């Protein structure tokens, strides 16, 4: 009976997204099996089986949701990203506290979590320990003693069963350890074997001959890191690839759960580029390197973005230090319970502007009032560089600034920020596009916290173009969330995969798995919305994604699909203004770039679009930091000519237009620019002192231009009389810069 019920739960959990049972971090076979009595199991099983399915809204993320084709057909992955549902009514910390009080469960209010006694340990063992942590934002829980975790609904189910059966605790093993498929179980076993193979094949650096060890340290630029520090942190050398091996110890028995291999590559500028590889894969690697060396009574920690930085901080200061598993790209909420014990958290994630931006974002998750940030600068590089340069790391940490600040500041407080932007102009400009160098010349880069409005004629390829723009950034590590309300996610993923592979995969099916595996590694997520949606639901989902996956770029395609759900009695322009204002506020508050696609007003086919062509353009153009227009000149005999025009750029004011060549075989616009195509910068219209368009000034300029044209025509006529061959008109010849 027990096995039948458990198979029912496992089958039901694979069918209902968002209703998975309790999840365990460690492999189940290392734990002893203890079972519930039949009535307890029956009640918990029935609650899980009959729980209402969550509405179809939420996120998609990389997971292991597979299905097998029938016999004789090769096994396919269902899709690269399985569903994580987001509740229509998000849980709030007030709701969580009210529920815990109704169940007479004591709790402590922590920085990012609520602390309660663990319900997965008997009363004699847990005593007065508050080892179960509930995330204030999502309601997800984790018991640090048993490593049992799950959703808020799972915790409610367990508490209800305990109350009905009058139990003091629940076994942590009854609904754990079931893989969704045989493939996933085999993959987990392969990864564990690979971890053991790498670890057993690597050697401690203290066992390496002195001259070879010194050569390795020089290669990694860690000559100041002592052998004692490397040994204390368990760092080893994997000789076949000359990589340093950083272990992940975790679980009740502190067993080896994974490894990270880091190799060093020197450059012409004497800088070292570190290449990383993790086993298991990055999306399952949750190692806070250095955590096993932190004592229970330690109240201060230095959070770094790299394992080598943690070694440097620990050796130079003696302070507890841990490294984030994914550097500055993400702080997974599952790690927050392990950082709750610290009253002071110093974030020293690196020495560039990207690490500085990440520090400010991560401090919101950790709790602003306990966080301080090390501001990057010439005298404050990353910790391992500071150690090699002989700087005092303790003084740098003591000089860190608090993350929380007052609403009013003086220039004295902004002075270092201003200087930092002047020194790091390239990094401040944002992430550069690899496929669109012309866009870099105008916008300078993709920056966090901005709102971009994008428009273009119907059928001109807006979605196809913006998907490649987003893919370009995603391939460079920009965590991206797609909200496609116009076309479904399968079609969108197919377009992006074609752009990623730069070829039609339907004509090369044998290469599909190769490109799909690479595409699956991108930090790319999809909302499961389709058709008209309520703006509040969309914003809640975006907020959820930013918290869980540290999303840096959100694309909304398109605005009109959110207007149909609003009150029909309200003016549609007022509704649009409200929605645009909400996205503007979201981008500013979360430091997340939002790209908003808006359909234009109906214009004549022979007219180019302009900023005023955007539907309800007043609010959209005012709130936007960037306005991009996909222009299309329709032709009868061949496909229309497309170009991208930037009509607003709040960063530095540059605007312009450049041609786009669409390649149908790869669905890309990023073909090399021919010699005859040149970037055409657009000079803004003249303004008077009040900032309004000055017709008088423009009229004078037009008169001057007409006289210049007449003069050029006269000169051309004179040359033609002397020389009978044709001469290219310099005023309209290709490849020249033109100003409007």
For 373-415, the pLDDT digits (tens) are: 999 887 889 999 999 999 999 999 999 999 887 666 778 778 8
Please give the residue that has the higher pLDDT: either 605 or 368: 368
pLDDT at 79: 41
pLDDT at 644: 93
pLDDT over 70 (residue 78): no
pLDDT at 406: 65
Please give the residue that has the higher pLDDT: either 18 or 250: 250
Among the ranges given (101-110, 157-166, 310-319, 556-565), the one the predictor scored with the smallest mean pLDDT: 556-565
Among the ranges given (100-114, 194-208, 659-673), the one the predictor scored with the smallest mean pLDDT: 659-673
Cis peptide preceding 280, ω within 30 of 0: yes
**β-sheet bridge partners, residue 451:** 594
pLDDT at 180: 61
Structure token digits, residue 534: 């309520």
Residues making up the chain, counted from first to last = 740
pLDDT over 50 (residue 691): no
Mean model confidence pLDDT for the chain: 79
pLDDT at 549: 92
CA–CA distance, 245 with 248 (Å, rounded to integer): 10
pLDDT at 585: 94
Residue 246 Rama label (left phi>0; alpha psi -120 to 50; beta):
beta
Average pLDDT over residues 449-454: 94
pLDDT over 50 (residue 532): yes
Average pLDDT over residues 57-83: 36
Residues near 417 by beta carbon (within 8 Å), at least 6 away in sequence: 375
pLDDT over 80 (residue 292): yes
Average pLDDT over residues 492-506: 94
pLDDT at 424: 85
pLDDT over 70 (residue 33): no
Average pLDDT over residues 98-107: 92
Alpha carbon 635 to its chain centroid, in Å, reads 40
pLDDT at 716: 62
Average pLDDT over residues 264-269: 81
Structure token digits, residue 181: 């498929």
Structure token digits, residue 517: 């595996």
139 band by pLDDT with thresholds 50, 70 and 90: very high
Average pLDDT over residues 266-271: 77
DSSP state of 707: H
Please give the residue that has the higher pLDDT: either 229 or 699: 229
Alpha carbon 302 to its chain centroid, in Å, reads 23
pLDDT over 80 (residue 514): yes
* Other Cβ atoms within 10 Å of 49 Cβ, number: 15
pLDDT over 70 (residue 10): no
Nearest of 362, 280, 266 to residue 323 by alpha carbon: 362
DSSP H or E segment with residue 148: strand 148-150
Cis peptide preceding 558, ω within 30 of 0: yes
Backbone angles phi, psi at 458, to 5 degrees: -60, 130
Strands 553-557 and 480-484, bridge-based pairing: parallel
Please give the residue that has the higher pLDDT: either 548 or 601: 548
DSSP state of 606: T
Average pLDDT over residues 463-477: 94
* Prediction pTM value: 0.74
Structure token digits, residue 466: 């913006």
pLDDT at 636: 56
Residues near 395 by beta carbon (within 8 Å), at least 6 away in sequence: none
Among the ranges given (241-255, 303-317, 341-355, 566-580), the one the predictor scored with the smallest mean pLDDT: 566-580
Between the CA of residue 309 and those of 68, 285, 384, 538, what are the distances in Å? 44, 19, 5, 38
**β-sheet bridge partners, residue 133:** 115, 142
pLDDT at 522: 93
Average pLDDT over residues 220-237: 94
pLDDT at 26: 34
Backbone angles phi, psi at 731, to 5 degrees: -75, -25
**Sheet containing 58-62: which strands, arranged edge to edge?**
81-85, 58-62, 524-527, 480-484, 553-557, 593-597, 451-455, 626-633, 641-649, 656-660, 680-681
Average pLDDT over residues 274-280: 92
Please give the residue that has the higher pLDDT: either 639 or 318: 318
Report the Cα–Cα distance between both ends of the chain, in Å, rounded.
80
CA–CA distance, 591 with 449 (Å, rounded to integer): 4
617 band by pLDDT with thresholds 50, 70 and 90: low
Average pLDDT over residues 653-660: 92
Among the ranges given (57-71, 112-126, 507-521, 666-680), the one the predictor scored with the smallest mean pLDDT: 57-71
Residue whose tokens read 């999840």: 23
Give the DSSP per-residue string, 581-643: HHHHHHHHHHT-EEEEE-PBPP--TTSPP-GGGBTTHHHHHHH-SEEEEEEEE--SSSPPEEE
pLDDT over 80 (residue 353): yes
Structure token digits, residue 593: 């770039």
Give the DSSP per-residue string, 28-69: GGGS------HHHHHHHHHHHHTSPPPPS-EEEEE---EE-P
pLDDT digits (tens, 9 = 90+) for 701-731: 445 555 665 666 666 666 555 444 444 444 4
CA–CA distance, 326 with 304 (Å, rounded to integer): 11
Average pLDDT over residues 431-450: 94
pLDDT at 147: 85
């Amino acid at each position: 009976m027990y096995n039948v019920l458990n198979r029912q739960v496992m089958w039901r959990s694979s069918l209902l997204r968002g209703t998975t049972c309790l999840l365990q971090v460690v492999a189940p076979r290392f734990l002893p099996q203890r079972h519930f009595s039949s009535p307890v199991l029956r009640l918990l099983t029935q609650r899980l089986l009959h729980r209402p399915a969550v509405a179809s809204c939420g996120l998609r993320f990389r997971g292991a949701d597979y299905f097998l084709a029938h016999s004789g057909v090769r096994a396919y992955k269902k899709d690269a990203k399985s569903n994580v549902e987001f509740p229509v009514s998000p849980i709030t910390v007030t709701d969580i506290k009210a529920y815990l009080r109704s169940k007479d469960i004591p709790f402590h209010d922590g920085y990012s979590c609520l602390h309660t006694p663990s319900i997965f340990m008997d009363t004699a063992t847990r005593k007065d320990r508050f080892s179960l942590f509930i995330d204030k934002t999502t309601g997800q829980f984790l018991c640090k003693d048993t490593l049992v975790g799950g959703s808020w609904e799972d915790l409610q189910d367990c508490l209800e069963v305990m109350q009905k059966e009058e139990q003091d605790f629940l076994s942590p093993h009854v609904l754990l350890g079931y893989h969704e498929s045989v493939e996933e179980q085999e993959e987990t076993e392969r990864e564990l074997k690979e971890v053991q193979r790498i670890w057993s094949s690597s050697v401690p650096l203290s066992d390496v001959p002195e001259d070879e060890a010194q050569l390795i340290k020089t290669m990694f630029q860690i000559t100041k890191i002592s052998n004692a520090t490397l040994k204390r942190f368990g760092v080893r050398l994997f000789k076949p690839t000359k990589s340093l091996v950083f272990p992940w110890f975790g679980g009740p028995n502190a067993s080896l759960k994974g490894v990270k291999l880091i190799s060093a590559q020197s450059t012409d500028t004497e800088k070292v580029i570190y290449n990383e590889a993790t086993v298991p894969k990055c999306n399952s690697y949750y190692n806070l390197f250095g955590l096993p060396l932190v004592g229970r009574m330690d109240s201060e920690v230095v959070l770094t973005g790299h394992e080598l930085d943690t070694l440097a901080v620990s050796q130079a200061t003696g302070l507890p230090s841990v490294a984030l598993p994914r550097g500055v790209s993400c702080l997974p909420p599952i790690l927050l319970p392990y950082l709750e014990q610290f009253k002071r958290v110093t974030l020293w994630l690196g020495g560039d502007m990207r690490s500085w931006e990440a520090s400010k974002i991560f401090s919101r998750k950790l709790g602003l009032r306990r966080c301080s940030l090390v501001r990057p600068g010439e005298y404050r590089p990353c910790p391992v560089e500071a150690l090699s340069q002989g700087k005092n790391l303790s003084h740098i940490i003591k000089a860190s600034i608090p993350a929380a600040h007052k609403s009013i500041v003086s220039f004295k407080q902004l002075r270092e920020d201003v200087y930092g932007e002047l020194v790091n102009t390239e990094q401040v400009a944002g992430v550069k596009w690899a496929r669109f160098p012309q866009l870099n010349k105008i916008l300078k880069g993709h920056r966090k916290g901005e709102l971009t409005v994008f428009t273009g004629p119907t059928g001109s390829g807006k979605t196809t173009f913006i998907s490649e723009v987003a893919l370009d950034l995603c391939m460079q590590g920009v965590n991206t969330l797609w909200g496609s309300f116009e076309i479904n996610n399968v079609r969108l993923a197919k377009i992006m995969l074609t752009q990623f592979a730069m070829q039609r995969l339907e004509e090369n099916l044998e290469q599909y798995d190769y490109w799909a595996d690479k595409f699956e590694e991108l930090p790319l997520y999809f909302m499961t919305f389709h058709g008209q949606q309520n703006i509040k639901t969309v914003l809640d989902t975006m907020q959820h994604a930013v918290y869980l996956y540290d999303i840096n770029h959100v694309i909304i395609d398109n605005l009109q699909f959110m207007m149909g759900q609003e009150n029909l009695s309200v003016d549609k322009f007022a509704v649009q203004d409200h929605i645009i204002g909400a996205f503007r506020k979201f981008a500013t508050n979360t430091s997340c770039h939002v790209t908003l696609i808006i359909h234009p007003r109906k214009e004549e086919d022979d007219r180019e679009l302009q900023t005023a062509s955007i539907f309800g353009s007043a609010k959209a153009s005012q709130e936007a930091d960037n306005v991009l227009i996909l222009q299309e000149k329709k032709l009868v005999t061949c496909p229309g000519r497309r170009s991208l025009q930037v009509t607003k750029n709040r960063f530095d004011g540059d605007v312009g237009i450049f041609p786009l060549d669409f390649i149908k075989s790869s669905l890309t616009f990023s073909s090399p620019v021919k010699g005859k195509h040149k970037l055409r910068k657009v000079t803004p219209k003249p303004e008077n002192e009040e900032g309004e368009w000055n017709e008088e000034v423009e009229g004078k300029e037009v008169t001057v231009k007409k006289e210049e044209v007449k003069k050029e025509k006269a000169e051309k006529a004179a040359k033609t009389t002397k020389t009978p061959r044709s001469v290219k008109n310099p005023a309209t010849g290709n490849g020249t810069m033109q100003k409007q």
